[in-house]
Amino acid sequence: MRIEKNFTLGLIIILIGVSLTIFTFYLAYNAYLSYKPILPPTGDLSQAITNTSFELINLVAKIAFLGVMLWASTILLRYGVNVIKAEKPAEKKQE
């Protein structure tokens, strides 16, 4: 009974990790397709630099968010696999 619970828990953790990874890639692809750069108006150089820096900060924030989501999903995948792998030796000892 305990072995089935560990396997089920590991499988649930792996499924959550995979779904989070797929969702992260969906968000990244959607952001890639819908990206339209804000072109600074021609004129003042300081205004163009300010607009460009705001655009870069916005892109870095999006990349950081996606990176953290992907990092969390890989941690979930690793723990799910470790739970399933830890169950296998215990199963062999009982037989």
Q: pLDDT of 25-35, one tens digit each?
A: 999 899 888 88
Question: Is the predicted pLDDT of residue 43 greater than 80, yes or no?
Answer: no
47 is in which domain, residue-wise? 2-94
The band of 16, judged by pLDDT with boundaries at 50, 70 and 90, is very high
The band of 95, judged by pLDDT with boundaries at 50, 70 and 90, is low
Between vectors from CA 80 to CA 74 and to CA 84, what angle results, nearest 5°? Answer: 145
Tell me the Cα Rg of the chain: 22
Task: Report yes or no on whether pTM surpasses 0.95.
Answer: no
Number of structural domains found in the chain: 1
Q: What is the per-residue pLDDT for 22?
A: 94
Cα–Cα distance for residue pair 67/94, rounded to 1 Å: 42
Cα–Cα distance for residue pair 67/28, rounded to 1 Å: 10
Q: What is the per-residue pLDDT for 73?
A: 92
